[in-house]
Amino acid sequence: MQSIKSPWAETFDEFAGSVRETAIIAAPFIRRRPLERLVRKLRSRQSVKIDLLTSLASHSLGEGLVDCGALLWFCQQVPGTSIRHLLHLHAKAYVADGHTAIVTSANLTNAGLSGNFELGVKITDVATVNEIADDLTDYGAMGVAVSRDQLAELDALAQTAHGIMASTNLPDPSGAVARYDATLNEINERLISLRVQTPEFESDPKGSLTGQFGDAVRYVLQTYGPLPTGEINPLVRSLKPELCDDQADRVINGTILRQEMEARHT
């Protein structure tokens, strides 16, 4: 195990250059220039498989902390890339094949590589590296795959938000703020829709809403051990809020019976 302190851009380049077949990268904030560094190191190995796990929160997109355009560009440069969105992701970890893992405070941004005071560790113990990779894979399973088209749509909305914020010095700043908030709301709606998408998983039961809910329950039980239903519910809701409706008491023949509806009839 080796301590890594800032700036660690050279260590990141070494990590990128060590990737032979697969890599897993988890970072809530991802910007273009570090992705360009990664592409330069991978250019001679276009067959590599890269799993990128990030958090496409609306405020992150609106503030430019996550660059969907850069993610889309990276997917074009490295075709074997998959992008997954995980709500509440905070981990920053980088795994190359089964030989190296870096766990750090640094996001995949210029500031993370060279500007901020970050701290991390480089791990080469194979058993520990594989354990970290397995944990990141489990995290990814709680997220959702994001297609190229969806990245493009989110990037367009993010660019709209950036343009609105740049106009807040105009005579009607309150109007710009209202438009900015409306754009963030639209991003949120797209993200919720993305997290409950089912068409691409028609042949894969694990991708169905029931499958996603089952994965969340399984993850909670594996993490916390046996729990009563009342304690499982809030944990699952924190992982998959869009799948949980506290007002829905039951569904009968496709009709949602809500608690307040029943209360009016009692």
Angstrom distance (rounded) from CA 265 to CA 219: 38
What CATH number is given to the structural domain containing 70?
Answer: 3.30.870.10
Residue 158 near residue 62 (C-beta atoms within 8 A): yes
Same domain as 211, residue 142? no
In angstroms, how far is CA 14 from the centroid of its own chain?
Answer: 24
Question: Structurally, how many domains does the chain consist of?
Answer: 2
Each residue of 109-130: pLDDT tens digit?
999 999 899 999 999 999 999 9
Q: Decide: helix, strand or coil at residue 14.
A: helix
CA atoms 191, 195, 198, 204: torsion sign: positive
Give a yes or no: residue 179 inside a domain: no
Angstrom distance (rounded) from CA 86 to CA 43: 27
Give a yes or no: residue 227 inside a domain: yes
- Rounded to two decimals, the pTM is 0.76
Each residue of 183-202: pLDDT tens digit?
988 888 888 777 666 444 44
Domain span at residue 88?
Answer: 2-149
pLDDT: which is higher, 101 or 169: 101
Give a yes or no: residue 130 inside a domain: yes
Confidence label for 8 from pLDDT (cuts 50, 70 and 90): very high
